[in-house]
Structure 1
């Protein structure tokens, strides 16, 4: 790098080749023409002075216009301002930036509107950057001074613009309440104005800003409160958010004068999903609870740009302990190694050979090297807590943490690359670190670096980058790196073990196209269009999950776990779908991936579940299997992540040969043990425990159903028994709570409550599904004249109504585990207009004298499931009497057919795209109406028909007593089981129902039988 700083105005330090001189002369003539137009109205004396400057400094101008399009453009945009300062530019080769503060302050003092503000910011910025570029290129100013000049200019523009906008905001909204802080000794600082505190990050924070860099900012305000407006005060959060938005617009917005800075706010807490401005308390809480390792690196350079104040000191005191720990721990070294590996992976993936920042041996490797040493040592040796890379070199060497020879090599190479970077960006004010392939820019770089050819400067750059990378590679040695590929082979991602090759997809900031390419090589599909579709779907899912995961506060431990888990999941999902015949399609992979990422998104804030999945490969495989087979199971786990615990001990893998009685005993014992852990007075805990029991048992049933260890004809039996056992326990809980408040009725006890429950519908017929509600009716046989014996005595009727209300509340109240079951009480006497519970005599009178035919149909499937034996016998006798009463066949046939037609009209959802297997003609409802009709029509002569509540055994009895022939009974049973299994599978998997020839034939049998029975 050249170090010529000759101050003679006629001399420049760069020798220009002919093609650049020609370009410079053409640009000079363009500038001269623009200057002539602008100064046409000037006095002759002033025109003469300008012409003299043109003649005197034309050589320097032509050289500047040759080397930088930016200089040429800005000079032409502001020709008068440029020509007025050109004399000083030629006489003062060294940077002159100490005047920025006062010069911009004077400019703002004469600024009245935001429109003027935007114009003045841009004009001031462009002209100052022109001066910096002029001195860099013509006189090759010291790069350290150049970086400082660019940083100082940014500081001045940001802070003074903030102050100007703050004053305007105070005029409109009122000033924020004064800030008063208290130190650790309890001393209170004097009140000071509450300002928007601006953290400069990255190179701005280190005062080493690039020529055309983005500025990374974080906004913080000291305390919550309200502005001091006499009529309409607003919250401090609103005030400072509005102020921050104005500041960003003033710097970032592109106007007729261009843009001052590209403002990047992504380093703020929670990134793009976080608030634009946070209070100091929220800022501290975030980094205390959730700050991640990469944020520690980012905060190493954080600098509060505002002038010193109590609030500024407090903010700096929050940052320092987050970044620097007093003692080195294992996680620090491990995180440094992981970040170093990420850098290496990104180099291999992107193959950035000509990028002097991100490429091999580039600027970033030096920065990481120095920041890593600081992270390790600066907690103890506070003098090493510097923001500037160059200052850090000095301090680390001073305290012998960096060998002098290594320090000198890295420092000189770093400064060389920063100089090249500075030149590249000054060519046209572009943020680039890529060596040019444009011949003009290559010629410029040759001239500025005093090299004879492109090959020569490329060789010089390569020497520096090789030296940097050698030291970088030796940093924090990792034995695992020995076999790592350095060639950037894109197929390497699929060949590594344990998902390591998929780390890049998750941890690197890759765009959609890069992710697509990697996944495309990892997936296998025979069909090309399927291959592309599968890749596209998985790419979109991963990007969406990445975006949404940034909105969750999971802390460093959670991020560490996630960084290990996601690569494993990606690899295993692909392997799973390749080996599962049903899933080896784009649609199958999409469905499974969507389900798994949905579950992962739900548990992001629960590190224990992330750890569970990470540490248990078998649990992950079970999760894939269940989710791939059943969307219902996947949705249940997504809604209730605690179900993941069930996958640790998969009892469903064992064949279940038990019967209903054994299931009931097992459920009762397990539920009793679970409820013993809950204090009797903890009502919420009891309700949550019941819900947890139901959810886990349902998951076990579904898993056994999916795996084939529980035959499908037993699934509904087991679900029905589960509901009954839970109902028993809920009634016991409700009884205890109501009796505690009102006392008990004479003749009742916890063992004999005088209460009975009748199950109708699917529960009555032992045909319950996974999402079924419970159709139940409550009855009792207690003397209505009695009252309770508690301090607050109530009548018998009131007692049972309150009991039923309490039972319903326990079942249906929403907790974080949702409701227990939905309860439907509409089949009680008189429906919704009737009492919640009826005396058995009232129930009997209603059934015998007032009930409609459809209510008697419903009674066919009614089953006594709770209560004392005596009350149960009364109900059984009553049910038989009602079902066996004499009925006129023609009237019964018409009433049943009319009700079926009304149901079909209102409930059948069959259309051109799907069929409603329950309500359509030939579906389950037709078959159920047939059995109900036959029971109502024949129980008087065939009493055994009232014994059963399920369709299959009713059909057996109908055939056995020749009400229908055996062949028809078997055909209807087969149809019923087949259609039910299809509905069941659809509910479990959400897959389209397949219309096979067998299904069509069976449904045709049901339809034909229905028509012959009711219209024949």
Structure 2
């Protein structure tokens, strides 16, 4: 276009990388007269920038504020300036504030720095900030330090950017990270120098005499990436502070600690407190003993004593990278040397695995869900996966060899390869992936000089990052490369840790490496196996041989082992996996499901390592593994469908025992379906209750039908009709896996048979039912203890005898027990007649105050007498304060008192009755919510405990592993068992408060002396 200034065309501007074309063209045209470059050289300079638009803004600002600089901006120096400020607008803003040294930097180009020159540059800077009195005021010293640091940072980053422009970003990464670590050490040393001058001059608190300062030895020891000499552009620098007195000093230890703490505090302030020049990064001392609650500074003896006696496993992992950074380097070296033996023996400590897992989880637990998948550092397939894999392998195998005693991630990874702990090809791929991710992280942080590891997903952000990193030509290419890297890191994370284990047990000559037995056992122990020898045997059985099954197991087990290790009991999970695999060895679909159905395989390992109850059931029905592929197959089957199936089975079997065996198998199958559905999270506890009710009811119905058919086949004419009445949680339809099947048996004569003969026939039928329901592979017990007169009464009563008993002899607790009575199997008319009778007893027209007091007194006796000896009441989920019993007794008291007047209360379900009581304003909504929350939580924990270890218990365990098992079944975060306990104590305490007020009215020790 003829009117375009100086011939600049929009197409040329676009080719130079600009996005805002018209404004950029005008800005470039305005620059040209002031610069000693041609138009082509100007465009080439800006085309080197990652973000040409941002570079133009900074260059214009710089020349407007400091026009003399223009004379030094030839073609090459201008290109370097655009390269630097286009990748880091923040450094462009810095040079606008502090242009001194920019011309020299652009003339010489970027360069790495060593420890000597970095420290000299920063110490000279703070020394130059001395005021007339000879002291360094904190603010002046901080500003001088930060300005000098950023000049050196710009020098290193220009070097890095120039290498990236040549396609050499990955190979220069380690040298750049080492230079950044050197700069950090120099910054801390310079800040400590300012801190000493500040304390001496009394510019921060009372002045400290020179001889006392001189007698205080303070060492700053680096941890984390700075300790490993692989620091980021902007990263927390993790440190600990150690102090000692000079020998022959008159300064006592307390005084020395006070001075050292002031020095440490001022040193940290110099690095990261707000000031005239922005902070550098966070100097973080939270990895010190006892974390942020511990003393900021300790003596060497105190530090070593802490690590020897009290430190947890993760703290030794943090110490892995420790090195003297600043201050008294000899003292820092003494501390590092004093902790080495503890570090390299830490994998033998109790709960080593748990502590490492908790360390891994600590770095992700505060990440927003939306950020997790775009996290270069902490997300799946990110830097933490590589770093933790390397550190864990170092700690596991470093106890056997010193060649792994290295701080840096990449040096340690190379040593693991050389030592045969990681396959060479895998190690080389992981090194390249680590370099790729770290270069991206550097460029993200360089842009605004702030700590970040969030990958941009917008086209412009990706375009700029691709240009700055030199790792891809376009943003789309970079996004694809990052996706490939993430997937590869996840795969290698599994392979480098688990594949060598299979080599060790399968004796495969084609594998690249084979761990020795001791090393393989150590690696198994490090991921959570308590019996590594047993695990080795099971892995051998699964992987040896040349059959297709062994080959597929060898391919799958690296992933399966990872999933098993994520469960609470990987040892049992592996045993159960072997048994299930052997049981399905002839099923062609089984291995195909494991190989192709990733979700099914992961669900299987979760079930096996998280629930002994489900694993034992699965061994009896191994083809149930197929259900894990589809959610619909893990949901409960409806009662109608189950009744049809059970009745069909009962009618087709030749003998009673054969029919009973078939019915028990279906029942066991349905309980397994519910257990697997609950553990995988497909169904919740209310759905479990519905499913268990259907399974139990269909089993009882089918067994009664089979009994009747057997009697008919034997030519026996029944003389009685029998009905089974559900009681307790079964009657209420509120069962969990730990619930009993409570029943009452009632009969009615069908002929003129003598009463004694009718009773004997009914009792015989109930006894036979109890025999038939008993499953040698899965315990099922029918509990008739809630019948009239309890254990002392007959197993079955006639309807008339039941009426006579309840009308004449029953006590209040028996009326209370009837509140959850409902017919579940047998003669429907007889069941309905019993419920009519029960309604008269459980919903009395007048429930007196005397009866109310009797219920209260009985409850107090239950609390005092039925708790197991020595049990902690606060942990008892059923009988303890605020437990299941508290809630149910209060609801039942409301039903006894008001059920006759309010039909809504006439329900067998506890929570339904509680909701009806709220509607009738018999209890406040908030109180009802406290009761319901405690009841639900206690019920869930009881059920989860049964799933976890296969045993029924009403007490919240104290053992950490048991709590972990319960929490895992409930889907709670791992390694946070205290939350499980704290939640129970909170909900039960609130519920108990309601019970004491609404049930007892008040707690009177004279009225209720039985209360604990």
Larger radius of gyration: 1
TM-score after normalising by structure 2? 0.46
TM-score after normalising by structure 1? 0.45
